[in-house]
Amino acid sequence: MSRTLLAIPVYNEEKYVERVLGRVSQYLPNVLVLDDGSTDATPSLLAKFPVEVIRHANNRGYGRSLMDAFRWAAVDRFDWVITMDCDEQHEPASIPDFLSAIERDDLDVVSGSRYLDVHPENDAPPEERRRINGIITEELNARLGLKLTDAFCGFKAYRVSAIEKLSLDVDGYAFPMQFWVQAVAAGLRIDEIPVRLIYNDATRSFGGPLDDHTHRLTHYRDVLARELARCSDRLPRRCSAC
């Protein structure tokens, strides 16, 4: 059986962290929490649980937390790392679905999709978030020859030996733009599995300029264009023509 790490980025999640950590331990014993400079009670609440913690002194971004999780998993010789959010928008009950996909051993990235199946209990996402997700997902598919339905879902499983081939350096929320391009350039095997679409708080902020929809879409496209140019010599021929 594969040795799997569960990695959970957190930033000011005092409202949810105890409930989430109380549930995930029944599925996986190895849990790493990446505290991205929380200024609320999150750090003290983490001390109640038997989890490993990486704490950033300052907020460094979602992408940086994922990269730290990947490095930890590699150093500690895990075979896989599953990432999930800590705001109760990812159901711990879906972890066994990722573990089943891992044990089939025919993929390098198992990506959760909130739009692959229509679950009767799905919530309605904020209109602009759904619109930008759809636009970027379509652009990634067209440029990379992928068949994604949800480019931004953070509920994923990664084969550690596969992602060690990547050179990731995008710290913020545009991290998926870089990841998908490099994953295709490295020839990683990718597929999606359905997860529930849950939005507990439609008012949650990205922070700073990214709260502006137009700026956020432009930023994502800029990072995507940069990464396509950097990886152009390693992308399949069908991608370079897109």
Check pLDDT > 50 for residue 34: yes
Find the CATH number of the domain harbouring 210: 3.90.550.10
Domain that holds residue 143: 4-240
pLDDT class for 121, splitting at 50, 70, 90?
low
Question: Among candidates 109, 91, 131, which has minimal Cα distance to 191?
Answer: 109
pLDDT tens digits, one per residue of 65-93? 999 999 999 999 999 999 999 988 899 99
Can you read off the two tokens belonging to residue 77? 């010789």
The CB-side HSE value for 125 (13 A sphere, CA atoms) comes to: 18
Task: Give the largest Cα separation in the chain, rounded.
Answer: 53
Alpha helices in the chain (DSSP H): 17-24, 42-46, 62-75, 95-104, 127-144, 160-163, 175-185, 213-230, 237-240
pLDDT at 199: 63
Q: How far apart are CA 213 and CA 211, in angstroms?
A: 6
Give the mean pLDDT of the chain: 91
pLDDT average, residue stretch 115-137: 76
Please say whether the beta carbons of 85 and 20 come within 8 A. no
pLDDT at 201: 60
Question: Among candidates 145, 157, 134, 222, which has minimal Cα distance to 185?
Answer: 145
Contacts of 179 (CB under 8 A, 6+ apart): 166, 168
pLDDT at 241: 45
pLDDT tens digits, one per residue of 183-227? 999 999 999 999 988 765 655 666 777 767 789 999 999 999 999
Q: How far apart are CA 95 and CA 110, in angstroms?
A: 11
Question: Among candidates 5, 21, 10, which has minimal Cα distance to 157?
Answer: 5
Sign of CA dihedral 78, 83, 86, 90: negative
pTM for the whole structure: 0.92
How far, CA to CA in Å, does 27 sit from each of 86, 89, 91, 178, 231?
Answer: 15, 17, 12, 30, 37
Structural domains counted in the chain: 1
Question: Among candidates 97, 88, 158, 89, which has minimal Cα distance to 129?
Answer: 89
pLDDT at 239: 62
